[in-house]
Chains A and B, each alone.
Chain A
Amino acid sequence: MSPSVLICDDSNMARKQVLRSLPEQWKTSVQTASNGAEALTILRDNSIEVLFLDLTMPGIDGIGVLQGINKLNLNCSVFVISADIQPEMQAKVKALGAKEFIRKPVKADVLINHLQQHGLL
């Protein structure tokens, strides 16, 4: 049983990088968004179980998406994948409910490991 997945990143390459790192059986049910606004629309209209979220994006950024998820009271596991890796930023996204902070560039073994830790695999 594969969960519904959303990958949100303004970089096409970064989205592909996440997609490639996902477990094989998940790859069939993946949607993508290239900015925060798009992601929030998809999150509202579909039941997304796992979100891989970039922080630095034009318009509504990753922090904005996390706040939106809290406001909409959505039940969705968020994994932040970001290049901004300072401890302060990591603490901030955790406080906003993100399950994990993963530094870019994302690696398959690291991602799988985190998914297992949170009981998603």
Chain B
Amino acid sequence: MSEFHLTEDQQDCLQEIINIAMGQASDQLARYLDTFVYLKVPSIESIGAKDLLQTLSQQKNTMAVVSQGFFGYEGIRGEALLSYQEEDSGRIADLLGYEPDELSKDEQLIDISSILTTTFLNVFARQIDNQMSYNAPKLLPSVQNSLSEHLQEMTFNWDLALKVNISYQVTDYSFNCNMILLIPETAIVNIKHVLDRILAEF
């Protein structure tokens, strides 16, 4: 077991914080979108670099991936990747309250990704007494095979990936996307410190 692996308690603590963040984020989204957002419990997996590449390569018909960097105090930083399947991208403009001709499909994906990532991570940061800043979200060029390339070309070496499967259902239709949080080595150590601090309070 490497020093980057989370202990059972740390994993439990992180899952709970993520659940709370997701719950609050979907409540905010529901208010903003003026509709009921049904949120399945996000399933969280922490996986190593090699396993992630394998998981991603198995993931068929991914049509788009949007990446957005985030950084907070105490060295907590990383990159959020949101991946969409073809069938889930059709009605995002609708969901966001735009007219379809007001923005391109690319812009719709970037917009919804940014909203999901930042609402979620803002609440997450608040839970751990932190505050996040964000880079502008980017749509990765032609997803076919480029995801693994992108992962290798990233500005930092990441060692742990938190894969959070988010499934939003919005009244009469649903859309799914996967959120993957890539976290570099140093940030994992910092997250572990934060988790230990929270756990020590019990």
Contact = CB atoms under 8 A, between A and B. Distances in A.
B24 A12 contact: no
A13 B37 contact: no
Contacts of A104: 16, 19-20, 23
Most buried by A among B36, B39, B41, B199: B41
Interface string B15-57: 1100110111011001000001101010000000000000000
Contacts of B173: none
B13 interface: yes
Interface in A1-45: 11-14, 16-17, 20
A105 B127 CA distance: 9
Interface stretch (A69-77, A83-91, A93-101, A112-120): A83-91
B9 A13 contact: yes
A17 B12 CA distance: 12
A11 B39 CA distance: 18
Interface residues of A, number: 17
B23 A20 contact: no
A84 B13 CA distance: 17
A20 B202 contact: yes
B120 to A, nearest CB: 12
B166 to A, nearest CB: 13
Nearest to A12: B12
Interface string B185-200: 0000000000000110
A85 B27 contact: yes
Contact of A85 (B23, B127, B202): B23
Given A11-B15, A12-B9, A13-B12, A83 B24 contact: yes
Contact of B16 (A13, A20, A85): A13
A86 B202 contact: no
B36 A88 contact: yes
B26 A56 contact: no
A77 to B, nearest CB: 23
Given A83-B20, A104-B20, 19 more contacts: A11-B12, A11-B19, A12-B9, A13-B16, A13-B199, A13-B202, A16-B202, A17-B202, A20-B202, A56-B41, A82-B23, A83-B22, A83-B23, A85-B23, A86-B26, A86-B30, A88-B36, A104-B16, A105-B20
3 closest Cβ pairs, A-B complex: A83-B23, A56-B41, A83-B19
26 contacts: A11-B12, A12-B9, A12-B12, A13-B12, A13-B16, A13-B199, A14-B16, A16-B202, A17-B202, A56-B41, A82-B23, A83-B19, A83-B22, A83-B23, A84-B26, A84-B39, A85-B23, A85-B27, A86-B36, A86-B37, A104-B16, A104-B19, A104-B23, A105-B16, A105-B20, A105-B127
